[in-house]
Structure 1
Amino acid sequence: MTAPATTSTTASTTAPTPVRRRRRDWRSRWHLAAAGLLTLAFVSPIYLTIVNAFKSQDQIVADPSAPPAPPTLHNLGDALARPDRIIQIGLTNSAVTVAASVLLVIPLGAAFSFWLSRRSARLRRIVLAAFAAGLMIPPAVILLPTIRILTLLHLDHTYAGLILSNVGGGYLSFAVFVYSGFLRAVPEEIVEAAALDGAGTLRIWWTIIMPLLRPATATVAIFLSLWIWNDFMNPQFILGPLRGQTITTGLYLSLGQYTTNYAQLFGVMFLAAVIPVAGYLALQKQFIAGLTTGASK
């Protein structure tokens, strides 16, 4: 008679009570609601940019969150027809700056990471700790020394100086960290077999390592392209408002001192976001593969 009572008592204590179930349900609902509100906070600026890019000035002032009814393409046409050519000049300069910076950072970061992976563990820790400073120090802290160095090199107020500052800043540190983590998953036997076949270090890096780093390269390219494309501080201070402009500084110049044409401004913002979104859609497969591979190894 005692054994069944013990069994029933144990089962009643281990089984979840209705009160506990209701608490878990409420917690899951609160978590879902919090996730929904957080997602809405991130998506709302994108929604406002898209809907207001196809609305007139009066519609935007009346209700910025309402959908365009009816939609109009005048904002995009007015943005492209500006006499200062903010869209044409800004998109061209931003695209050239991003392409040149990324094409320099990727081979430098990959080559240095491959060289670092062949060194001792102690040296790797010291070097990566030094590169971590490039990620932890705010860009505004090193902006003035960067401008002074570019002035000594006669590269201030030039796009070459802007590209050089991108290469020597925290972007290279980010590339080194990504490539260094990814290279840990590359078997050492591949490099040793290529060396035994007579391949040099440069050939091993270019013909064997770089194809294996394709997902990591896509991840680095997407992140760096977005960061450099959206950068405002470096173009504003290194180029100067009268020497050149990127699309971000062009957006700043399109703001009026006393009044602002919001319809045209949203048109400029919409056109400025087309190229980054198209680039991400083109590389999203490699980008996701790079993130999942780095997370699983």
Structure 2
Amino acid sequence: MTLTETRPRAGAPTTSAPDRRRRAWAARGHLTAAGLLTLAFVSPIYLTVVNAFKTQDQIIRSPSAPPVPPTTQNLTDALGRSDKIIQIGLANSAVTVLVSVLLIIPLGAAFSFWLTRRPARFRRIVLAVFAAGLMIPPAVVLLPTIRILTFLHLDHTYPGLILANVGGGYLSFAVFVYSGFLRSIPHEIVEAAEVDGAGRLRTWWTIVMPLLRPATATVAIFLSLWIWNDFMNPQFILGPLRGQTITTGLYLSLGQYTTNYAQLFGVMFLAAILPVAGYLALQKQFVAGLSTGATK
């Protein structure tokens, strides 16, 4: 081997051994951090699933152990409760989520479409106002919301709860998502519809809304999960004696002195079925909406 063959080629990057070791340790550190973060998110789901099929003694003895042997008695007991916590809670939560989302989506999409036709300065001011709806904690505006609903005679009612959902930060989130997505739609499409004689309402409904399907799926999934998991609004707006969603039902199922963990995990497992099924059904559109909003 000649001396020239052992020399690195001109312009070729060289990496020293310490640099390679640092990169290897950095890659391992990133992998370890990602694994710990994933474990932190997955562990509650794992505990809920495995303990839903274990007896009370098995849960107390070893909560993290797999169910050996598994049992479905917890699910049967949860469905057979005399207070019908699963049936009533799931039905009330499903109706609340469905009506709230069906109102927020067209309102948010229509307002965002109208906002895109306004001057940029006006649009920035309006979006800044809507940003306050996302930044202000819900607990801060809960008391004024209840006072408004009391004035309208809608306190302790499901229409009042739905109105609070529509007028809260959920609408602000929908406006932000739709406004960002509408920037990716060419203005020539809307202008062509107007040239053909279509009005603003018809253009929005027949041209714009079908193009907003990925954004609509994103908004629907986020809002459905947030409203489904909401505890504070149903607890204070409905009250414990006037209504019951699945989250307030879970709270009421906790015993004051003792808790039947087996039945409680069965209730939580059944309460999570509908949101997971909805996400799996819309996940393709959900990912498309996120990727489009990130690149435009």
TM-score (norm 2): 0.96
Match of residue 85 from structure 2: 86
CA distance in 2 between partners of 1:83 and 1:50 (Å): 24
**TM-aligned CA deviation for residue 13 of structure 1:** 11
Match of residue 211 from structure 2: 212
CA distance in 1 between partners of 2:82 and 2:255 (Å): 15
Deviations 1:243-294 (A, max 9, x none): 0010000000000000000000000000000000000011111111111111
Match of residue 187 from structure 1: 186
Match of residue 229 from structure 2: 230
SS at 2:138's partner residue?
Answer: coil
Match of residue 15 from structure 2: 16
Deviations 1:181-228 (A, max 9, x none): 000011111111111111000000000000000000000000000000
SS at 1:67's partner residue?
Answer: coil
Give the gaps of 5 or more residues in structure 2.
none
Report sequence identity in percent: 81
Give the gaps of 5 or more residues in structure 1.
none
Q: Counterpart amino acid of 1:130?
A: V
Using a 3 Å threshold, how does the CA distance of structure 1 residues 14 and 232 change in structure 2: closer, same or farther?
same
CA distance in 1 between partners of 2:44 and 2:143 (Å): 32
Match of residue 162 from structure 2: 163
Q: Displaced runs of 4+ in structure 1, greater than 4 A?
A: 8-14
Deviations 1:6-58 (A, max 9, x none): xx699799511111101110111011011101100110000000000000000
Match of residue 272 from structure 2: 273
The reply on whether 1:52 has 2:51 as its aligned counterpart is yes
Deviations 1:130-162 (A, max 9, x none): 000000000000000000000000000000000
Superposition pairs of residues 1-297 of structure 1, within 5 angstroms: 15-297=14-296
CA distance in 2 between partners of 1:23 and 1:88 (Å): 56
Q: Counterpart amino acid of 1:89?
A: I
**Number of residues paired by the alignment?**
293
CA distance in 2 between partners of 1:34 and 1:192 (Å): 50
Deviations 1:72-113 (A, max 9, x none): 000000000000000000000000000000000000000000
CA distance in 1 between partners of 2:189 and 2:17 (Å): 58
TM-score (norm 1): 0.96
Q: Counterpart amino acid of 2:39?
A: L
SS at 2:286's partner residue?
Answer: helix
